[in-house]
Chain A
Amino acid sequence: MEQIVFGIGITALAGALATVAGSAEDTESNIGSQGDPNSQVQLAPQMGFVHRIFNKAVAGEPPAYGLWCALGAGLAWAFLAMQINAVLAIVLGSLLAVFVQGIYATTAYLGRTASLSKFGQPVYVDILKSMTTVAMAHAFVAIFCTVTICYLINVALGHPFPLPLLGFIWGITLGAAGSATGNPYYGKERQYQNQKFGAGVPISASGNIVRYAEAGERNSLDNGFFTAKFGGPASGLCFGLIVFLELWRTIVFDNISPGIGAIVVGILIILIFTVIDRYIEVWARKNYGPYTAPVKEAAP
């Protein structure tokens, strides 16, 4: 019983850390403009819309976070092997991984933006100076939380995978959850704030991203400020639920009925989320209604 309570405590802590990690990951990717919405940041100057948005999407979020979290976890593992205190080892590992992220962000911004010079897009050094550090700070939070989750899973819950492998797996999952949930909010709701609310961006508007703020030109910090209110927490909720429920079903129900318990509860969780998803879909159809009148089927 004591072991189950301990496991539930670790699970709750891991879930909370994952929520913070997901939120920080999405905000970092929006400030750095990584992920699919960055296609518009890259496209805008080619359509004649020069902007001051950061631009660092060389890889998608999942592989990028897979790399950074695996690096952080691998280095933390090495420090642990050198008998360094666990908290310090995780902080140092995450810190070194963040430097790699910073190099990646700097070279990506310079390279990608310089490639747009023929369309008149300048490389803004002040943007590089002010945004890179903010993106790095958010990345540190995301990497630190993820590596800590991996450490807890490995040491406290006894998962067989070594720390770097866990870092890679949960880094990829973090990026997948964060980009899937957070990308539409940044891509549609923020970049195309000038388009109608409650409708997708018409394909003809591609590249015409919003470039001006309340005062002066909009930059990526404004985007991070905006998406941190909804896209970030939603991504955090998504990754937090994934980590928490995956650990919870194993820790609690494997002790009640080894093997079968976790499977049955997992299937039940899938069914519950299916019902919630269907409810949301039907709710939207009823409350928002169709855009055009339904096409009547021809009488037989």
Chain B
Amino acid sequence: MTAVAAKPAAGSAMNPTAMVVGVILLIILLVIAAFVSPGLGLMALIGVIIGGVLIGFGVHFVPVGGAPAAMGQAPGIATGVAMLAAGAGLAGLFGGAWAASQGFAIAIITGGVGGGMMMAITCMMVNFVYVFGMGIPAASGKVAKDPITGDTQPEYKSQGTEGHGLPFVSFVGGVTGGILGGAGGTLIYLELLSLYQATLPNVMNASSAQVLPIAVSVAGTFAIGMFLVNAVLTAYNITGTIEGPHDPKFKRWPRAIVASAVASALCGLVAILIVTI
């Protein structure tokens, strides 16, 4: 079969074999963590995996239109999936890390709210530019009616385009994605920070106060790195652009969850090994 004759639906199909292989890999990585660092290391790895999955799932909500959105040819925000998700998630991580001393739950919620705020402001400004700068109303190309507001969409699509701007459902999706990303990034940071705070004094033969700046820096760097890993993985799953939770591509999320879990487990294991070996 040639590439031309191949069916285009392959992108959305689930591959059970790959999913099973992914789950087996995940279990192997968890067993290695349990063997190398039972207790604290294993708990940190589980936290990192949950954080990575939250990021991977959250990125699916973010309405990204890429280059076509920059010409008003497709709905969404005119930038890359990974970049926008990283911007929102890292803004959340900034807030979450600031609130780290106030407890686990408070820090994670603060991180989530920070990511959601960044997306709410950005999505509002996108519609502001479309409406007041370019005179273009928002219209979805994937659904006839906005699932939240019930607004009809096709008649607001200009000729020769797939829609433009951010319909309300995309705005809500963007904020939801920001919240999940910010919370996931903060969770990874907190798990690694607690691990490094406990282990670095022994590894470096120094006091807790002396290792704190190093623990914060390394945990922050790993959290950012894992954020980018999960955001890019999900960008591949989405294949470029997505309108939000109402987009048919959103249904691909189970595949990204498994991939994010495996990638986070592998990266998390590296983050754990640097202080346990």
Alpha-carbon distance A245/B135, docked complex (angstroms):
28
Nearest A residue (CB) for B162: A203
Residues 130-164 of chain B, each 1 if its beta carbon lies under 8 Å from chain A, else 0: 11111111100000000001011011111111111
Residue in B117, B127, B128, B133 whose beta carbon sits within 8 Å of that of A266 in the complex: B117
Residue in A165, A187, A262, A274 whose beta carbon sits within 8 Å of that of B71 in the complex: A187
Flag if B171 contacts A291 (CB, 8 Å): no
Alpha-carbon distance A203/B113, docked complex (angstroms):
37
Interface centre among B66, B103, B160 (most CB of A within 10 A): B160
Query: Is B239 among interface residues, defined by CB-CB distance under 8 A?
Result: no
Query: Is A290 among interface residues, defined by CB-CB distance under 8 A?
Result: yes
Known: A62-B86, A277-B124, A280-B124. A294 touches B155 (CB 8 A): yes
Chain B contact residue count (CB 8 A cutoff): 82
Query: Is A216 among interface residues, defined by CB-CB distance under 8 A?
Result: no
Flag if B86 contacts A172 (CB, 8 Å): yes
Residue in B100, B125, B132, B161 whose beta carbon sits within 8 Å of that of A202 in the complex: B161
Flag if B73 contacts A176 (CB, 8 Å): no
Flag if A231 contacts B167 (CB, 8 Å): no
Flag if A274 contacts B171 (CB, 8 Å): yes
Query: Is B35 among interface residues, defined by CB-CB distance under 8 A?
Result: no
Query: Is A215 among interface residues, defined by CB-CB distance under 8 A?
Result: no
Residues of B within 8 Å of A184, CB to CB, are: 69-72, 78, 126, 129-130, 133-134
Nearest A residue (CB) for B130: A184
Residues of A within 8 Å of B172, CB to CB, are: 274
Residue in A176, A192, A234 whose beta carbon sits within 8 Å of that of B133 in the complex: A234
Residues of B within 8 Å of A201, CB to CB, are: 71-73, 160-161
Query: Is B220 among interface residues, defined by CB-CB distance under 8 A?
Result: yes
Residues 162-198 of chain A, each 1 if its beta carbon lies under 8 Å from chain B, else 0: 1001101110110111011111111111011000011
Q: List 24 A-B contacts (CB under 8 A).
A: A39-B70, A62-B83, A159-B97, A160-B216, A166-B94, A175-B87, A189-B134, A200-B158, A200-B163, A202-B159, A202-B161, A206-B73, A238-B121, A242-B91, A249-B117, A259-B106, A262-B95, A262-B110, A270-B175, A273-B120, A274-B172, A277-B124, A277-B166, A281-B131
Query: Is B90 among interface residues, defined by CB-CB distance under 8 A?
Result: yes
**In angstroms, how far is the closest chain B Cβ from the Cβ of A68?**
14
Query: Is B99 among interface residues, defined by CB-CB distance under 8 A?
Result: yes
Nearest B residue (CB) for A292: B155
Alpha-carbon distance A60/B235, docked complex (angstroms):
14
Contacting B at CB under 8 A, from A29-49, are: 35-37, 39-40
Residues 259-271 of chain A, each 1 if its beta carbon lies under 8 Å from chain B, else 0: 1101100110110
Flag if A160 contacts B127 (CB, 8 Å): no
Flag if B83 contacts A188 (CB, 8 Å): no
Query: Is B98 among interface residues, defined by CB-CB distance under 8 A?
Result: yes
Flag if A200 contacts B73 (CB, 8 Å): yes
Flag if A181 contacts B83 (CB, 8 Å): no
Residue in A250, A254, A283 whose beta carbon sits within 8 Å of that of B131 in the complex: A283
Residue in B66, B124, B131, B133 whose beta carbon sits within 8 Å of that of A231 in the complex: B133
Please list the residues of chain B having a beta carbon within 8 angstroms of any beta carbon in chain A.
66-73, 77-80, 83-84, 86-88, 90-91, 93-95, 97-100, 102-103, 106, 109-110, 113-114, 116-118, 120-138, 149, 151-152, 154-168, 171-172, 175, 213, 216-217, 220-221, 224
Flag if B122 contacts A192 (CB, 8 Å): no
Flag if A273 contacts B121 (CB, 8 Å): yes
Flag if A203 contacts B73 (CB, 8 Å): yes
Alpha-carbon distance A232/B9, docked complex (angstroms):
40
Nearest B residue (CB) for A157: B98
**In angstroms, how far is the closest chain B Cβ from the Cβ of A253?**
11
Residue in A159, A187, A260 whose beta carbon sits within 8 Å of that of B78 in the complex: A187
Flag if B72 contacts A160 (CB, 8 Å): no
Alpha-carbon distance A296/B168, docked complex (angstroms):
22
**In angstroms, how far is the closest chain A Cβ from the Cβ of B222?**
11
Given contacts A173-B118, A198-B136, A201-B160, 18 further A-B contacts (CB under 8 A): A36-B70, A62-B87, A162-B217, A165-B217, A165-B220, A172-B90, A173-B91, A175-B83, A176-B83, A189-B134, A206-B71, A238-B122, A242-B118, A266-B113, A277-B123, A280-B128, A284-B137, A285-B151
Query: Is A102 among interface residues, defined by CB-CB distance under 8 A?
Result: no
Flag if B87 contacts A259 (CB, 8 Å): no
Flag if A281 contacts B133 (CB, 8 Å): no
Alpha-carbon distance A204/B71, docked complex (angstroms):
12
Nearest A residue (CB) for B123: A277
Residues of B within 8 Å of A161, CB to CB, are: 94, 97, 216-217, 220
Flag if A203 contacts B87 (CB, 8 Å): no
Known: A184-B70, A199-B72, A201-B71. A291 touches B156 (CB 8 A): yes
Query: Is A123 among interface residues, defined by CB-CB distance under 8 A?
Result: no
Contacting B at CB under 8 A, from A1-48, are: 35-37, 39-40
Flag if A37 contacts B71 (CB, 8 Å): yes
Closest 10 A/B residue pairs (Cβ): A176-B87, A202-B160, A200-B72, A187-B70, A198-B135, A199-B158, A266-B113, A290-B155, A62-B83, A200-B161
